[in-house]
Amino acid sequence: FGRFLIWSPRLSSTQDLIAKNFSELPIGAVCVADIQFKGRGRSRNVWESPAGCLLFSFTLQMDDGRILPLLQYVVSLAVVEALKDVCDSKGFPYLDLKIKWPNDLYLNGLKVGGVLCTSTYSSKKFNVSAGIGLNVNNEKPTTCLNAELQKLTSGACQLERENVLAAFFKRFESFFDTFSNQGFQALEELYYKAWLHSGQRVLIQEDKEGQLLEHAVTIQGLTPSGYLLAIGEDNQFYELHPDGNSFDF
């Protein structure tokens, strides 16, 4: 990954550039922007992309569509572990980045990053565009990694976006290899350490023939196909699709 790299000081969206030009780009191509003026989040949300935010997308191919929904979790995990690697290598205090299902990155209760994976199917392959936005040095719209790091070190430590980007691909290459050869199971233990939800009780909403039903459930984990598994007070299991459901926590 990253041997073919496009950088732009200002772009509509790295995700759009990668997705629209997928067939012309090598697998593993990366697009990085300093600012996006049409940054996209999941579910048609806008991703605010000011200077200081690490903004990038890359191309990837997968054969097995059944495990495609799990890829976004591998990407999120690589961000979490990459950040630890950078902090370790620089002797910085550890930032406790957490994953909120399906793929939001949280620090001290505030969203500081997100992952977006989109795909198309052609010639028996899934062509995936994976995009990451991480507030490294931009305090808007929430907070950023450097603001939190500076609080811990009275301004002595500062992360650079380039280091986080390089560490991400190092981690992701290794995780993607494990994921492709051994499945998500091999990464699950590490993933759940960064997960916000183990044993969490939440309210979910179900649309049953136009009627909105609410259920109090306890989150169990992920299913092998990447859904969220929860158990209701009535002992009924609920499987929530990453693109179809959300809940408050």
**Interface ranges with ligand BTN (CB under 6 A):** 13-15, 36, 39-42, 45, 47, 55-57, 104, 114-116, 131-133
Minimum CB distance to ligand BTN, residue 93 (Å): 25
Nearer to ligand BTN, 7 or 237 (CB): 7
Residue 151 identity: K
Nearer to ligand BTN, 55 or 217 (CB): 55
Distance CA 158, CA 149 (A): 7
Nearer to ligand BTN, 34 or 188 (CB): 34
Class of residue 112 by CB neighbours under 10 A (exposed 0-12, middle 13-18, buried 19+): buried
Q: Are strands 125-135 and 201-208 parallel, antiparallel or unpaired?
A: unpaired
Nearer to ligand BTN, 104 or 160 (CB): 104
Minimum CB distance to ligand BTN, residue 32 (Å): 9
Minimum CB distance to ligand BTN, residue 15 (Å): 4
Distance CA 249, CA 202 (A): 6
The DSSP secondary structure of 25-62, one letter per residue, reads SPTT-EEEES-BSS-B-GGG-B----TTEEEEEEEEEE
Q: Which residue is nearest to ligand BTN (CB)?
A: 114
Minimum CB distance to ligand BTN, residue 76 (Å): 10
